[in-house]
Amino acid sequence: MTIDAALRQASLLPAPVVIAVEPGIYREKLHVTVPGVTLVATRPGVVIVNGAAAGHRSPDGRPWGTGRTATLTIDAPDVTLRGLTIRNDFDYIADTVSQASGGAQAVALMIARTADRVLVENCGIEGYQDTLYVNARAAFRRCRIVGGVDFIFGNAAALFRHCDIVTRYVPNAIDSGFIAAPSTLATDRFGLVFDRCHVTREAGVPDGSTWLGRPWRAGGNMAILGTAAFLRCRLDGHIKAAGWTEMGFTDPAGVRRMLTPQEARLFEWGSRGPGAAPAAPTRRMLSDAEAAGYTPDAILQGWVP
Sign of the four-CA dihedral 166, 161, 119, 3: positive
Rounded CA gap, 299 and 295, in Å?
A: 6
Instruction: Please say whether the beta carbons of 39 and 3 come within 8 A.
Output: yes
Is 150 annotated in the active site?
yes
CA angle 163, 275, 282 (to 5 degrees): 100
Rounded CA gap, 33 and 204, in Å?
A: 39
* Alpha helix positions (H), the chain: 3-10, 65-68, 92-98, 288-292, 296-299
Instruction: Please say whether the beta carbons of 77 and 55 come within 8 A.
Output: no
From residue 103, alpha-carbon distances to 55, 168, 170 in Å are 4, 19, 17
Q: Which is the catalytic residue, given 78, 150, 195, 236? A: 150
Instruction: Please say whether the beta carbons of 211 and 244 come within 8 A.
Output: yes
Q: φ, ψ for residue 25 (rounded to 5)?
A: -100, 120
Q: Which is the catalytic residue, given 130, 195, 207, 297? A: 130
Residue whose C-alpha is closest to residue 202's, from 148, 246, 149, 154: 148
Residue whose C-alpha is closest to residue 299's, from 218, 214, 228: 228
Residue 219, SS3 per DSSP: helix
Rounded CA gap, 50 and 106, in Å?
A: 9
Residue whose C-alpha is closest to residue 79's, from 47, 145, 123: 123
Catalytic machinery residues: 130, 150
